[in-house]
Amino acid sequence: MSTTTFLSSETPTDFGVPVAERLYSLKELTALGYGAEPTLRKYIREGRVPVIRFGRTIKVRASDLQLFEAPPKVTESEADQHIRG
């Protein structure tokens, strides 16, 4: 009996189930220091960074963050504190 594998060897898995990748909102990316929201929207409009759209909501995959020109200027925990107030 043969076993069929539907996941590629490059797909991260946890017990055979694909692991969800972290998605960031533009507000989160701004808080992390990737740039102002208008700049981020410009990069997206120009096709520099792929996005996932849920209606009007825009999300960026964690694996695509290296495509932004500006490196983060704050840590993720500092950004969470800024977002939550």
The pLDDT value given to residue 59: 94
The pLDDT value given to residue 72: 58
Local confidence band at 1 (pLDDT 50, 70, 90 cut-offs):
very low
Percent of residues, the chain, with pLDDT higher than 70: 67
Q: Given a cut of 80, is residue 35 above it in pLDDT?
A: yes
Domain residue extents for the chain: 19-84
- C-alpha of 46 from chain center: 17
pLDDT per residue as tens digits for the range 42-73: 989 998 889 999 899 999 998 888 877 655 56
Distance CA 49, CA 19 (A): 22
The pLDDT value given to residue 6: 47
